[in-house]
Amino acid sequence: MTNPKLTLGPVLFNWKPERLRDFYFRVADEADVDTVHVGEVVCSKRSPFFDPIIPEVVERLTAAGKEVVLSSLALIMTDRELETARGLAEGGGVMVEANDISVAALMAGRPFVAGPLLNIYNEGTLAALAAMGAVRACLPAELAADAVATLAARSGVEIEVQAFGRLPLAISARCYAARARNLTKDGCQYVCADDPDGMEVETLDEVPFLAVNGTQTMSFHTMDLLGDLGGLAARGVGRFRLWPHTFDMVAVAALFRSVLAGRTAVAEGESRLAVLCPGAEFANGYIHGKSGHLFVEADD
């Protein structure tokens, strides 16, 4: 793949509607990304706040020349959520990302993106999803580069790798953010909004371990594949996904584009990324076949 693309994943956190709208408008006008994902992935209780502004966000992004993808919920448990998923699948006109296997089934052979929460770890799973209509697949972050290259070489499906941000690891019926404040999920008071980049979790020894985003478990560390972009692109990866955070994502995207294009050396890129993301602890261990929280220096 000679010209890999940059994708901005959906905002996974509970941001106020005005903040989300302004974020996407700025992305439309300023961000050097090819594709932008929009939609609620984590908790359907958040959807009524953002759904009313999705049409204008999609229109603004499309007018700016960005490909728009509508991302589905990652865990569908109620009839209402299933009806929403069915409407998403049958909407037409805009590509859909399936983050729950039921959404892939609802696509009924129409082209869709297989999201990272579908847990694609081998050729058989990818082939099955391709038979259902998947034309692109964002792989789970735990895969090492050799496994990624195998899938890219044999699948016929465009492969996307998560390259920046806290990693979405798991989804649950329980709301950890509410429980941490002695609230029930039904009476959560939307407290996940208090942690716009996720609530950090420590072990009993007070070592940062994970992050919690409502019902979602995320990595504590921030994925940083700046030093691995070139190698992965040479092995067939067609897209790299950046997960939105409260950092300056326009600047982050520009930096990834510059390193990917060879205009900025990896070492310089890493230094600039640290400035753009104060307080973040970076990791890239998984892609090197090591523990995910480790960071392996690149051979620039």
Span 140-186, pLDDT tens digits: 999 999 999 999 997 789 999 999 999 999 999 889 889 989 998 88
Name the strand (E) or helix (H) holding 149: helix 145-154
Both structure tokens of 179: 């429980």
Radius of gyration of the chain (CA): 18
201 within a domain of the structure (yes/no)? no
Residue 96 corresponds to which tokens in the numbers above?
């859909």
Nearest to 120 by CA among 98, 104, 143, 102: 143
In this structure, is residue 208 part of a structural domain? no
Confidence of residue 1 (pLDDT cuts 50, 70, 90): very low
User: Does 177 fall in a domain?
Assistant: no
DSSP string, 215-245: TEEEEEEEEE-GGGHHHHHHTT--EEEE---
Taking residues 279-288, report their average pLDDT. 96
Phi, psi of 268 (to 5 degrees): -65, -40
Between CA 141 and CA 129 the distance in angstroms is: 18
Question: What pLDDT was estimated at residue 242?
Answer: 98
Task: Give the pLDDT mean for 200-215.
Answer: 92
**Domain-located, residue 162:** yes
Residue 245 lies in a domain: yes
Q: Which two tokens stand for residue 272?
A: 């600039």
Number of neighbours of residue 131 by Cβ within 10 angstroms: 9
Cβ density class 151-186: b for 16+ within 10 Å, e for less = bbeebebbbbbbbbbbbbbebeeebbbbeeeeeebe
Q: Encode 206-226: b = buried (16+ Cβ within 10 Å), e = exposed.
A: eeeebbbbbbbbbbbbbbbbb
**What is the mean predicted confidence (pLDDT) over 253-276?**
97
In a domain, 46, yes or no: yes
Q: Which amino acid is located at 272 in the chain?
A: R
Residue 231 lies in a domain: yes
Instruction: Output the domain CATH number for residue 160.
Output: 3.20.20.70
Determine the pLDDT at residue 2: 60
Q: What is the mean pLDDT of residues 230-251?
A: 97
User: What pLDDT score was predicted for residue 300?
Assistant: 53
Better-scored residue on pLDDT, 161 or 2: 161
Amino acid at 142: E
Name the token pair of 45: 């209780």
Instruction: Quote the number of domains for the chain.
Output: 1
What is the average pLDDT across 109-124? 94
Model pTM? 0.95
Q: What angle do CA 192, 14, 81 make, to 5 degrees?
A: 100
What distance in Å separates the CA atoms of residue 36 and residue 20, rounded to the nearest whole number? 13
Domain membership flag for residue 14: yes
Range of the domain at 99: 5-166+215-288
